[in-house]
Homo-oligomer: A and B are copies of this chain.
Amino acid sequence: MKALVYLGPSKKELDERPKPDIAAPTDAIVRITKTTICGTDLHILKGDVPSCAPGRILGHEGVGVIDRVGPAVTAFKQGDRVLISCISACGKCVYCRKLMYSHCTTGGWILGNKIDGTQAEFVRIPYADTSLYPIPDGSDEEALVMLSDILPTGFECGVLNGKVQPGSTVAIVGAGPIGLAALLTAQFYAPAEIIMIDLDPNRLEVARSFGATAAVNSADGKAVESVMKLTGGRGVDTAIEAVGIPATFELCEEIVGPGGTIANIGVHGTKVTLHLERLWDRNITITTRLVDTVSTPMLLNIVKSRKIDPKLLITHRFKLDSIFDAYEAFGQAAKTKALKIIIDA
């Protein structure tokens, strides 16, 4: 089968690889119909993710059709259309039983990282019963690819952890795909204001069309003043960090109001400064989270009821044969205006 293989920093190839086999009774083999590229795949290709060894098939998102199941799989059978979660959950360990699937002792984020992933014609999914979701009849499969990772990540790490509430004021720092996913899902809670902060005018424009009530271009170095002005000097109830660098995290520290929350989504490669000398008495909360994908059933419901249209995030489409072009378009997002890219396998 065809598969996109990581070969070490800055090296990848579209290779021919053997079709995967059932390795444990709880496995399923899924024939991929659609997958996509995540910012994390770019991190791997930069060599930033040591757990991912050369030779690995990349990708942790996608939808497909069950090809085969192990003898202990009871929820799925050959031919079922399924959504693949980016997180594999055994359903039994101490973390899974607290619904913290991200820290499953034998799962978590392993797809396209510690085991072969979804940018291929077939993929082996461990713990299939608790890591795949049936696709409801009549669903748009492209939309559902957004439920593998980006929507639950924006929702769980940003919106849920950020305690977004009806009538509250939210700032989202970073209007890339993940910040926009937080923007879309924040609206489940009817906040009164959603302020989007980014350097890219195009992405801010997209954010407005997705429901942001204000857009702040931080290029002038005055984002803090702008947010304070917009909030009558009080700061925001929720600041969502969706970039992953010290400057944006520290911006969140400056704009969060007393009693507010900073919800970190960004993947950070370096330490940040926490100004406890200013924040110790401000009654704030800071959260970090690797997505648990516990919200996937809810998101499936809400997509089905048309409260949200995940396809808004899709800007480009490619065939698996052209996945290098897809990576190119995704990697040059400032130029191509790419958000999420669908790859048909």
A274-292 residues at the B interface, CB under 8 angstroms: 274-277, 279-290, 292
A165, B307: Cα distance in complex, Å: 13
Contact assessment for B288 and A276 in the assembled complex, using a CB-CB cutoff below 8 Å: yes
Confirm or deny: A332 has a beta carbon within 8 angstroms of a beta carbon on chain B: no
Among B71, B72, B91, B189, the residue within 8 A (CB) of A130 is B91
A127, B95: Cα distance in complex, Å: 18
> Hey, what's the 0/1 contact readout for A147-175 against B, CB within 8 Å counting as 1?
00000000000000000011110000000
Confirm or deny: A99 has a beta carbon within 8 angstroms of a beta carbon on chain B: yes
Contact assessment for B287 and A285 in the assembled complex, using a CB-CB cutoff below 8 Å: yes
> In this complex, which of A269, A272, A294 has the most chain B Cβ atoms within 10 angstroms of its Cβ?
A272
Contact assessment for A281 and B273 in the assembled complex, using a CB-CB cutoff below 8 Å: no
A268, B277: Cα distance in complex, Å: 5
Confirm or deny: A251 has a beta carbon within 8 angstroms of a beta carbon on chain B: no
Contact assessment for B192 and A304 in the assembled complex, using a CB-CB cutoff below 8 Å: yes
Instruction: Name the residue on B nearest A290 (C-beta).
Output: B281
Confirm or deny: A244 has a beta carbon within 8 angstroms of a beta carbon on chain B: yes
Among B99, B188, B308, the residue within 8 A (CB) of A189 is B188
Min C-beta distance of A183 to chain B, whole Å: 14
Among B92, B94, B193, B264, the residue within 8 A (CB) of A280 is B264
Q: Which stretch from A295-303, A317-325, A334-342 is at the chain B interface?
A: A295-303
